[in-house]
Structures are given as C-alpha cells and as structure tokens.
Amino acid sequence: MRPLIHPAIEDVRPEAILHALADPARAAIFASITQAGCVQACSAVSSLGERVIPKSSLSAHFKVLREAGLIRSERHGVEMRNHSRCAEVEARFPGLLSAIMNAYAGAKGCEAAAP
C-alpha cells in the first residue's frame, strides 16, 4: 500500500483538474464529496446514476481526483474519508470549480427536459 499522494496547492495544474472533471462519473463523485459536508466514504458513492462502478474503477477515480489536487483522502480505521479541497483550489483558480459544476448542473437539467 503506497502512501497517498496529495500535491501542494501550488503544484496543482489546470490540465489535471480539467482532465479529472472531464469524466462525468468523477465530476459526480467530486460534487458528492463537496456537497456532503466534505466527507464521504468511497462506497457511499458507488451507485451513481444507474451505473454500477466496480471497486477497482472507483479506486482509480479517487486516485485521479486526489492526484489532481481536488480531494484529500485519509484513512480512519477501515474506511477512507475524502475531503474536498475546493476552497484551496478556488483560491488558486478563482471561479473554476463553480463554473464547471454549474456547467454540469445546467447540462443535466437541459437533457432531462428533452425525452
């Protein structure tokens, strides 16, 4: 079990953030962590939409979010707690995260209106 990698906020790169959030599943996971008081166990997220995401894929998604600097993960006993780093990222790249999350929210609303 290698130690978890958390880049310092000044090492966080925009392309890593965009790449991480370019996947709707990861964006949904990040939104969930950010909204749910910044704490969430991995498996509390495993049923996003109707798609079942296998554990290994989920673990990889968390790793991408972590190494992009979007979340911070720490073990608490047997489970992992994930905190959103949105405040830090927002300070470094003002408006970025909110614009991205609004874009997803907006697009979701539109497509639901066209059955």
Task: Find the part of the chain contacting DNA (CB under 7 A) among 8-16, 35-43, 89-97, 103-111.
Answer: 35-43
Instruction: Give the Cβ contact number of residue 103 at 10 Å.
Output: 12
Out of 18, 36, 39, 60, the residue judged to bind DNA by CB under 7 A: 60
Q: Pick from a copy of itself, DNA, none: which does 5 bind, CB < 5 to 8 A by kind?
A: none
Nearer to DNA, 15 or 115 (CB): 15
2 to 15, 63, 97: CA distances (angstroms)? 25, 12, 29
Q: Pick from DNA, a copy of itself, none: which does 36 bind, CB < 5 to 8 A by kind?
A: none
Contact 24, 86 (CB under 8 A): no
98 touching a copy of itself, by CB under 8 A: yes
Selection from 82, 52, 54, 55 nearest residue 70 by Cα: 82
> What span, in angstroms and rounded, lies between the C-alpha atoms of 96 and 61?
20
18 touching DNA, by CB under 7 A: no
Contact footprint for DNA (CB under 7 A): 1-2, 4, 19, 23, 41-43, 53-63, 73, 75, 77-80
